[in-house]
Amino acid sequence: MHRPTALGGAFTALATAAAGVLVAAAVSTTPAAAAVGGTGTGYLHTNGNKIVDSTGATVRLTGINWFGMETDNKTFHGLWSSNPWRGQLDTMARLGYNTLRVPWSDDAVKPGATASGINDFVNPDLVGLSPLQILDKVVDYAGSKGMRIILDRHRPTSAGQSPLWYTSTVSEATWIADWKMMAQRYANNPTVIGADLHNEPHAEGTNPAATGACWGCGDTARDWRLAAERAGNAILGVQPNWLIFVEGVSCPSGGLSNVWDGDTSNDEDCGWWGGNLSKAGQFPVRLNVANRLVYSPHEYATSVYHQAWFDDPTYPANMPAIWDRYWGYLYKQNIAPIMMGEFGTTLQDPKDKVWLQNLLAYTGSGVNGMSFTYWSWNPNSGDTGGIANDDWTTINQAKQDIISPYLIPPVGGGTNPSPTTGPTGSPTPTPTPTGSSSPTPTPPVPSGACTASYKQVNAWAGGFQGELTVKNTGTGAVNPWSVTWAWPSGVTLASGWNATVTQSGSTVTAAAPDWAKSLAAGASVTIGFTANGAASAPATVKLNGTSC
């Protein structure tokens, strides 16, 4: 997660200085490339400021964070909801998120670690699994949808974040050993593309008696740049194909300015926790394997902390110069790629909407833009909220509408006109463009213009889980679409996803969600559900009133 940076006179000084700087242009990109989907072929590496695949094609990671494995639950949050874990990944992929950043703590990967907060009724396939075994299943299913995984060592323990990469109870040796274990575990699975070494190194203690993470200070116990080299090279010794994601610090000295001494002349230029890479150009991370380094800053809005630059009279025109200073220069000078690992907002303050719009524009559009993973999928992120609403099924459309133009959908995540099959045999639905306008209803499709197939995914005493796939075989789009089916007496709906699913008597109706109203000719939709009662296949399936 994220926290505000140190307080000090540097904020006001920076904001004032930025006001006099010409607004930097957005990153030069190729907008036409936005139509290209997917995250490439094979393992990824870097070329200048680009991330490229095994063929040399440019890849832009446009992902999302799904946290929980770093907490006391030791696994993904939201597994307690009525939306099964696969349903949540289905939605992420369909919305266009091609990468999943997974925070974890060393507690979650210890032998004997147990996961909690799982709805066994909805997720019976996770019963009895360890945190790492659950992660294995998420990796496999995400990979089947064309998504990539970035592993983020978020905390040494589930108790909370730490300014340094080690604590009195979790040594640097443990940190590196756990990373090597993770690298070995996924060494032959290119779905997992790399390691975000430690989340949000930051300052602690008051200068000159700093005790927090510095950058370039040369103290091996505090210099995050040197620690990143040690861990990154250890990982690459096990898995040389991984990308190494290195976050910034908050204050390069590793200490907080003494705001009580009355002297602001020496106050340091500090940024967000993990967000200050201003010294990385002078003191770069040096890895033993070339073309593996990606810098990964964090950036937040007023919902996290009200930085002085948000009050600058030129806001938001002052922001590009600030982003340039902290991390954007690394991209613009072709030093290394940028993958903004966290950024988010509740959108409650009007300034936050402007911030999010301008930040995304700064990253550039299309496949040549900077990569990112939004914070977060989780609605229970206290200072940002999530893309998912509190039901873990529907989405926050206001946020999604701003982010959507910058997303590069995963190939296999619903971007093909026909379903693909994942490891469980469950088809992946085809997405349709998001939009806020209300479509004009179309008449029912002609008779014989749809087909339906059903797969039972799980069953248990008193209930079952299934997926109904309906394909529009007509010549025109169905907008909005609606699927109905019948169940025998005694079978009742428990939950549904990929549609608004309701039941009246023995008839179940799955209505198109707001973010996917139209079902194009040749396209399919997969409606997932759990139900109470004896396992039963949907009968008399109809698309807009026409039997399939």
Catalytic residues: 200, 342
Element (H, E) at 177: helix 172-185
Which residue do the tokens 């029912």 mark?
444
3 state DSSP class of 419 = coil
Q: What is the DSSP letter of 128?
A: T
Peptide bond into 376 cis (omega under 30): yes
Q: Residue 286: which of 246, 324, 251, 313 has the closest Cα?
A: 246
Which residue do the tokens 């004032």 mark?
16
Rg (CA), the chain: 24
Buried b (16+ CB within 10 A) or exposed e, 232-250: bbbbbeebebbbbbbbbbb
- What is the spatial distance between Cα 430 and Cα 156, in angstroms, rounded to a whole number? 39
End-to-end Cα separation, the chain, in angstroms: 47
Distances, alpha carbon 471 to alpha carbons 439, 494, 543, in Å = 20, 24, 9
Asked whether the beta carbons of 150 and 194 are under 8 A apart, the reply is yes
Distances, alpha carbon 435 to alpha carbons 270, 432, 499, in Å = 39, 9, 16
Q: Residue 327: which of 380, 393, 371 has the closest Cα?
A: 371
Q: What is the DSSP letter of 336?
A: S
Q: Residue 58: which of 96, 92, 32, 25 has the closest Cα?
A: 32
Tell the burial category of 150 from Cβ atoms under 10 Å away from its Cβ (0-12, 13-18, 19+).
Answer: buried
Structure tokens at 132: 């790492």
Q: Residue 143: which of 21, 40, 30, 236 has the closest Cα?
A: 40
The one-letter amino acid code at 166 reads Y
